[in-house]
């Protein structure tokens, strides 16, 4: 499953502006916001860029300075932005009050009516978008934004299947955007075209309504993956993580990948958190890096989890670490100073 | 036209979040925003609070932390917020890149779909809102936001007329929100109920389509005001300013007030600008302060322009200066240090 | 012991300016200070405001911008400030170098000669202050500031007793302000009027000189409370916490409440600390919330400790969390993100 | 009047903490303060240090971190602090809201009860303080702080006269600290010991009650100085500036020095202001630099005014520029960049 | 002289890290630096990018995070960085204390031993660098850095001439780097290959030793340009500006362009300065934009000066404004707000 | 081994500028740097100053504002800088990206070609430098910078031996600067003059090539120290720490001191880290403090480790804590607040 010569990995999805009161303050006591531009699919693509892959990103952005800023940030990662559509409308925003100790992080969404969520399917030229692309990564958030995007995601997946382009899909269920039933409908439509599926246990039991067996977590997950692969024999890999929350700023993470036969399990890593956003996307990018480079599953899942562990030490949505740093963590563990 | 014993001045209108890249940066080069919450009508009311009046504000705010923050800021000014409606929706936002020298300030609006702009007229209880109120201040922005608000503003104005509550209206035409014709329709509907009209020369020639005579600015303005008072004999005062822009950060200001017979003209003040937003609202508040306190027109317009000149030296939308500071500027002019 | 219809909870005490070198710096290496305005009694009242109670605060503040700022902050919490006395003098200040790891937090007091500490008893109109008030909260700091305030606190407590207003008192012994003997004299004078007493084990053994038995902490505390209630049968509740200090930034907390018969004990919570100041006041407010709302003692003490645990995750003196957040922590424990 | 070999210039006076809301904000809207430690006499001494003189400073400071910080800042300027007295008490504070445009800078003093103002004369060892000192600079603020300091300043001046140490005195009248009559009494007592007097026109007409003649400013000033020198033939130089305030942030400055016969007048400089505090002290230091180095009066007054003009471009109280920068401004005028 | 279809404009030169004490502080009083990465040639290329041109940049950067950061910033402007050489060494640094009023900006260079200045000519592949390039911009700084770079610049210029690639050269004489004689030698070697020469009056009189005539500035400049074009008939355009320094933060600018026959002169613009660095590069980019787009000389020089005037209102080295903003200033003059 | 009356402790070595992206950011995402000036030997001397010793520092600094800033910082600590050489050249710089969780701290050195590393031995006047000095502290970094400094360090050590000045040496091996063999050569040359040697286990096994025995860490260390003292009977004390890295921000530390007979071992301390730089230097200063004050070895090593533990809670290179704070930690352990 090697990356075709010089072909690109494309991400498609929404990019939003995240506004954060500084120093763990609450909105009510703050007179400024830190501003970060990101989104699940873009985070994955930018991380793959840092790992050395050729990348491309497609989305719709408003025709103003906020859109320009997103373009500039993407280009800084050497991401091809030639398929980004510009036009009327607003950039989706969300505010996040970063929690501490026992205080939860609270998110206020202001993403409705964004330019991409109000776009017509026809504004995107699938053929052009996928030229020179060997793998497409999308998530279950985009189809939840509008009927047009729902259909577009399906169309892209189909086009990929017909043109031997790999499809990676992250379920990423958001209850604020649609119901479990709607998500189920979508997954059942798209999974026949998917090669790499980022689905966790709850995705399979709560959305796909697979029967929850009585086994412990890992055995149960493996059984569920088996059923998934039986239903969708096209899937080549399924992967997910399990997170244990010790405090808002200290979590543990373990990764799982299933290849149809075996499930490989990573070591568990416990770490302090500088910025939690994008932790899952870093895992996804790590897994895709392993899959593209034909690493074995054991190494792939370890790479994914270590990539995610490192992301939690980086401010902002995007995992700025390179391949070497991840491998160094896998091989040598924690190092104090690199002079 | 004295303030009834202990009665309040009410403002009704939208409050928005203003996001500003710090240190005159452009959005494309900034990773944070200063956050200020304000709006024309709220700015007027808060300034009146600082001048010592009893005040109240009505609007609709989203039922989240951003709405809470607006409430808290208003309460900090001792403004009665009991008539603020809370509910679903978003807080309107605008981004402003503060210009410098020859570089214009640029505003990106993201105000569509705000909670108030999507509210139903019925969500507001006019009778309750106007209990214990002696003067209401509104602007031409609110009716431009939705048909519902258009009708609500007219209803409020009518209710005031029937209940001997004074009505102050600031035209505040925004081409991005509606056409000159729509604005004309509104003004013609609302002016019969208005006591104090903040209309400039262009409002009368471009919106109301009064004939532009060939006179110099001041004579022309006076003629236009005469026509206005002929058409709407209910109007007691009309006022406006003329601004000369020497550079983004240095302007001059002169004020005018017409009482049906005479037009009083203030001195001209030239000043450096720390924050231009709310400069007009500070003038409006200054005029209302003079009118409520039965100051003579000459003193009223001087008070209005000095209030506005001082506002330009204050960060944020709201004129934090008290009555004494304005009078000190009128009487003694610029003072270096007050120990 | 339910809150009389629409009656207010009043706090009386000093408000000070806290100046903090940013980023855990020491004063010697810092060129700026973060500024926070607060005080034990004000913190309790503001927290009760956040929990939904009607509140009022009385103090004396200097007649300058620093006093204005305190008023504005209190009003932002919807606290009635009509009984705040303004006049000549200074605002008390303290500097705190926030510690880290093994380095203790160090406090430099500059509170002498503050406006309130030099005020005459007659400047405060007790009757007016307590109009529409159902509960008064005071602390043992105020009487230590001056003889005048000492007498005033006793007078307020007496007036409450005569007018069926509940009295809450937090011992809050400060060795820098007075001796153990002086504190003993005060407590013995005021306790006959107190309904809810925030006294810890050391308050009873070191100040009140109750005999320290040889029992373990919890049994010992219960015995001491029994003696307290025997001496002052008017007391309805006594409460305190026990704090274990693992490092400057990581503590554990457990709460205790005694109702004359039983002592209820909360779970123990361990948490990282963003700002320790106001942690005790948050507990006090939580207990008062439970008492006012007739919650049972078990739930009250759990509410108090969870409120305090959450406070440690909030910058500033005041516990900005609402009732729902506290209940969510009690019922569901730590949650990662609330979207 | 050359500086004795290796002898030091001593300053004696109060050092205070200046707290400034950042970005021209008002206290009511700010949650932090910039912190600057300074005082008129210390500013003069530090500037003389930057000009290359050996210096020493005497004062009383509280025995806490704030006092340590002052010591450290003075030592950073290579100022001998061996005669600084430490002890109980507080550091005087003042808050300054920096104005803008038409908004005046407002100062709130919180300097009462400072350690130095409550010190006994006996705490200072004059003989030790003045060992190896060739010139002492003091101001009219210190004697206004307490009777003890009043007497101490007179004692120091007397001791200097008896030991051939030059005395420099800056009148620096502050109406908040004492009356014109009290200041007159002090000046009449101290002037017989003064060698270099920093007195402006108002000091002579309002405090010393010299008759104001009808001449224009410069002629009038010269006549007043003549009378001063007639009364106090011991005075060798008298100097002052005239400031024209165009806006809070743009002033002009002109300097005057009188040597008993002639009055030399500097060029007038107009400049934008970064920080106005210490502008007068920079002039004083510049004049003292000229006097100590036996520069002619014309050059001395030009040096003084240029030093002051440059100070207005420096943040903080102290004129950080060296002799070369002042001379470069005198000789070459404004230069854009020094690479 | 139109840009060949889709061909790029290449810049070649050094990129440095500029470290600036914030808020006009001096290094001695600051504990942080703002960091900006730029350089004359890169600034020109980035500005051309903002004007819509396809661009490329060549340099040598150290193989560390500082080099990565420069690459990322260039890519953010959509500049092709494929010819950037990476390797051992350091990034050149300079510190600049931004002046104010009468205080000059002071620059401390720490640029010696930078990676590019120690590079061998052979590390750069001229052919590859100039593939698909239609215009190359270089400056007189690069040849002053080392003999290797001296020869490389000449080689690049020669290669361009042989391959019909336009050459733009900015003299940019720096006395700290080489002597007038060395600069003369270089200019005489390179000018035969130059198409667009950015040379001012002093470059021609002081470096090239053309005789300074006695005419006024503009006539004199025209005569000097005539002599230049006589000596180097290959030159198509020569251009420069004249700057008048009213204060560090307020300058005037006028532009001149000569095309062999006529000299066109722009209007004069006076403006406040936010950041002066890159003002000249913005003019250069504006002129190149006009030349590439075949604008007439009058319009070209006005565009260049307006671009430069706008740059002075932008923080950082690079002129972030687009073509439309420049044209708007030319056509409509100063506008207050663009909503 | 008591400090001679009033004699000074001298440090000799390089001082560098440390540039740190704020808030744990990476260089690639940051637009500013915090600036800290320090160096191993200077850190030791400054800490000794805070402990109350008379101190002096010798180095070479560039003759510009950066050098001035270093001087000013040293003087602020009351360090005698009269032997600091100023001249041409640059200040060494290093950039450090502070890690977090699993992300290592990364250091980019830009120290080559610094003024001191290019200095001639003759620029330093050893006799003058060591006047009134009782102890000299140097490290193994200085001789690695240049042959000249190598010889100078040996010369200083020799001069000390001849003049009964104690010599303290910290091995501080840096692989980037020289090879193990070169370091061995140096140590063998200098150790015969050393009184107090800061050498860890790896210094003895890897550099000095002492045979690594098979014992556990502590026994092994003691055996190695015995061999060291056999080879260099002049050595009076040898000391080192063992650090356990739990995460980038949480370490444990234990200290060891050997006096020729016994090895004393401190308690182990575990702590969160605010700034790790200077942790070793704080230990060194603590040990020297104990040695100078003739504390017994057990107390000395406890003092050294507690000093180091406290340093990790201080921002910047230098341990700002005084003797009392260290003793308080030894005696009373962690205290929450010191009021």
Residue B225 has a pLDDT of 98
SS3 F313: coil
CB contact under 8 A, A272 and F105: no
User: Using one digit for the tens of pLDDT, what is the confidence trace for B220-273?
Assistant: 999 999 999 999 999 999 999 999 998 898 999 999 999 999 999 999 999 999
Chain A residues near residue B65 by CB distance under 8 angstroms? 26-28, 95, 97, 106, 108
Nearest in space to D67 (alpha carbons), one of D44, D94, D89? D89
| D320 inside 8 A of chain E by CB | yes
Separation of alpha carbons A146 and E185, rounded Å: 67
pLDDT of A3 > 60? The answer is no
- C177: which 2 tokens? 């302000």
Residue B251 has a pLDDT of 94
Q: What are the residues facing D55 on neighbouring strands?
A: D9, D79
pLDDT of E14 > 60? The answer is yes
| B324 inside 8 A of chain C by CB | no
Residue B212 has a pLDDT of 86
Q: What are the residues facing C107 on neighbouring strands?
A: C96
Share of chain C above pLDDT 70, in %: 99
Nearest in space to C89 (alpha carbons), one of C123, C116, C122, C57? C116
User: Using one digit for the tens of pLDDT, what is the confidence trace for C197-220?
Assistant: 999 999 999 999 999 888 899 999
Residue D212 has a pLDDT of 86
DSSP for A92-125 reads: -EEEEE--BTTBPEEEEEE-TTBTGGG--GGGS-
Which chain B residue has the Cα nearest residue E274?
B100
Task: Catalogue all structural domains in chain F, each as residue range(s) with its CATH number.
Answer: 41-56+122-332 (3.40.1190.20)
User: Using one digit for the tens of pLDDT, what is the confidence trace for C9-38?
Assistant: 999 999 999 999 999 999 999 999 999 999
Average pLDDT of chain D? 96
Residue B337 has a pLDDT of 82
Average pLDDT of chain A? 96
- D55: which 2 tokens? 């210096």
Q: How high is the ipTM of this complex?
A: 0.94
C101-115, D3-17, E191-205, range with the lowest pLDDT: D3-17
pLDDT classification of E3: cutoffs 50, 70, 90? very low
pLDDT classification of B24: cutoffs 50, 70, 90? very high
Chain E residues near residue B251 by CB distance under 8 angstroms? 336
The CA-CA-CA angle for residues E38, E206, E144, to 5°, reads 40
CB contact under 8 A, B337 and D102: no
Q: How many CB atoms lie within 10 A of CB E256?
A: 23
Chain F residues near residue D72 by CB distance under 8 angstroms? 76-77
**Cα distance from B230 to chain E (closest Cα, Å)?**
34
CB contact under 8 A, A247 and C337: no
Q: How many CB atoms lie within 10 A of CB B93?
A: 23
pLDDT of A115 > 90? The answer is yes
User: Using one digit for the tens of pLDDT, what is the confidence trace for A16-70?
Assistant: 999 999 999 999 999 999 999 999 999 999 999 999 999 999 999 999 999 999 9
Read off the pLDDT of each residue in E303-321 and give the average, rounded to a whole number. Answer: 97
User: Using one digit for the tens of pLDDT, what is the confidence trace for F184-198?
Assistant: 999 999 999 999 999
Residue D5 has a pLDDT of 57
CB contact under 8 A, D310 and E102: yes
Average pLDDT of chain C? 96
First to last CA, chain C: 37
Which member of E33, E64, E112 has the closest CB to residue F108?
A: E64
pTM over 0.90: yes
Nearest in space to E245 (alpha carbons), one of E139, E141, E103? E103
Q: What are the residues facing D35 on neighbouring strands?
A: D19
B74-88, B251-265, C324-338, range with the lowest pLDDT: C324-338
Nearest in space to A59 (alpha carbons), one of A7, A124, A127? A124
Separation of alpha carbons D217 and E89, rounded Å: 64
Residue C4 has a pLDDT of 47
Output helix, strand, coil percentages for chain B, rounded to the nearest 5.
Answer: 40, 25, 35
Q: Collect all residues with Cβ–Cβ distance below 8 Å to C89 and sequence separation of at least 6.
A: C60, C62, C113, C114, C115, C116, C118, C119
B4-8, B174-178, E44-48, E237-241, range with the lowest pLDDT: B4-8
Chain C residues near residue A25 by CB distance under 8 angstroms? 315
CB contact under 8 A, F97 and E26: no
Chain B residues near residue A31 by CB distance under 8 angstroms? 34-36
Residue E336 has a pLDDT of 78
| B110 inside 8 A of chain A by CB | yes
| D244 inside 8 A of chain B by CB | no
User: Using one digit for the tens of pLDDT, what is the confidence trace for F200-243?
Assistant: 999 999 999 999 888 899 999 999 999 999 999 999 999 999 99
**Cα distance from E97 to chain F (closest Cα, Å)?**
10
| A206 inside 8 A of chain F by CB | no
DSSP for A126-165 reads: HHHHTTTEEEEEEESSHHHH-HHHHHHHHHHHHHHHHTT-
**Cα distance from C337 to chain A (closest Cα, Å)?**
5
DSSP for D82-128 reads: TT-EEESSB--EEEEE--BTTBPEEEEEE-TTBTTTT--GGGS-HHH
Separation of alpha carbons F206 and F171, rounded Å: 12
CB contact under 8 A, A334 and F109: no
CB contact under 8 A, C102 and F313: yes
Q: Collect all residues with Cβ–Cβ distance below 8 Å to F278 and sequence separation of at least 6.
A: F38, F43, F311, F314, F316, F317, F318, F319
Backbone angles phi, psi at F12, to 5 degrees: -135, 130
Which chain D residue has the Cα nearest residue B23?
D23
- C118: which 2 tokens? 């030099």
pLDDT of A334 > 90? The answer is no
The whole-angstrom distance between residue B101's C-alpha and the CA centroid of its chain comes to 26
pLDDT classification of D42: cutoffs 50, 70, 90? very high
User: Using one digit for the tens of pLDDT, what is the confidence trace for A281-297?
Assistant: 999 999 999 999 999 99
Read off the pLDDT of each residue in E146-165 and give the average, rounded to a whole number. Answer: 98
What angle in degrees, to the nearest 10, is found between the helix axes of F279-292 and F297-311?
A: 150
| B309 inside 8 A of chain D by CB | yes
Separation of alpha carbons F311 and F282, rounded Å: 6
pLDDT of E221 > 80? The answer is yes
Q: Collect all residues with Cβ–Cβ distance below 8 Å to E108 and sequence separation of at least 6.
A: E27, E94, E95, E96, F64, F65, F66
Residue E5 has a pLDDT of 57
Under 8 Å CB pairs connecting chains B and C tally to 14
| F99 inside 8 A of chain A by CB | yes
CB contact under 8 A, D66 and C97: no
Separation of alpha carbons D259 and D226, rounded Å: 9
Residue B232: HSE in the Cβ half-sphere, 13 Å Cα cutoff: 21
- B100: which 2 tokens? 């410098």
* Token pair 């699919």 in the structure block, residue: A41
pLDDT classification of B1: cutoffs 50, 70, 90? very low
Separation of alpha carbons E32 and F34, rounded Å: 4
CB contact under 8 A, A334 and F247: yes
* Token pair 């060892």 in the structure block, residue: D125
User: Using one digit for the tens of pLDDT, what is the confidence trace for C32-77?
Assistant: 999 999 999 999 999 999 999 999 999 999 999 999 999 999 999 9
Residue C5 has a pLDDT of 57
Average pLDDT of chain F? 96
| A35 inside 8 A of chain F by CB | no
| F268 inside 8 A of chain C by CB | no
Distances from the Cα of A252 to the Cα of A273, A306, A309, D321, angstroms: 10, 11, 9, 55
């Amino acid at each position: 499953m090697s990356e075709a010569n010089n072909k690109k990995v494309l991400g498609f999805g929404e990019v939003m502006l995240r506004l954060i009161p500084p120093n763990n303050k609450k909105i009510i006591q703050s007179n400024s916001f830190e501003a970060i531009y990101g989104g699940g699919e873009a985070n994955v693509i930018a991380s793959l860029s840092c790992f050395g892959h050729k990348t491309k990103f497609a989305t719709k952005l408003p025709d103003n300075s906020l859109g320009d800023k997103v373009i500039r940030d993407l280009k800084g990662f050497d991401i091809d932005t030639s398929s980004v559509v510009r036009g009327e409308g607003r950039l989706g925003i969300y505010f996040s009050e970063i929690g501490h100790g026992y205080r939860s992080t609270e998110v206020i969404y202001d993403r409705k009516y964004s330019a991409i969520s109000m776009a017509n399917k026809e504004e995107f030229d699938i053929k052009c978008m996928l030229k020179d692309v060997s793998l497409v990564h999308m998530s279950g958030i985009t189809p939840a934004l509008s009927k047009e995007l729902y259909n577009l995601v399906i169309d892209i997946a189909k086009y990929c299947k017909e043109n031997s382009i790999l499809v990676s899909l992250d379920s990423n269920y958001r209850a604020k955007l649609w119901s479990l039933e709607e998500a189920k409908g979508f997954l059942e439509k798209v999974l026949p075209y998917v090669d790499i599926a980022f689905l966790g246990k709850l995705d399979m039991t709560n959305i796909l309504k697979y029967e929850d067996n009585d086994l412990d977590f890992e055995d149960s997950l493996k059984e569920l993956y088996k059923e998934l692969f039986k239903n969708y024999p096209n899937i080549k890999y399924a992967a997910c993580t399990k997170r244990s929350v010790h405090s808002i700023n200290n979590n543990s993470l373990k990764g799982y990948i299933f290849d149809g036969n075996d499930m490989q399990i990573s070591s568990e890593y416990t770490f302090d958190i500088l910025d939690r956003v994008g932790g899952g996307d870093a895992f996804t990018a790590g897994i895709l890096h392993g899959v593209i480079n034909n690493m074995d599953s054991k190494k792939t899942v370890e790479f994914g989890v270590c990539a995610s562990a490192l992301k939690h030490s980086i401010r902002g949505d995007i995992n700025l670490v390179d391949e070497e740093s991840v491998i160094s963590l896998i091989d040598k563990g924690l190092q104090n100073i690199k002079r």
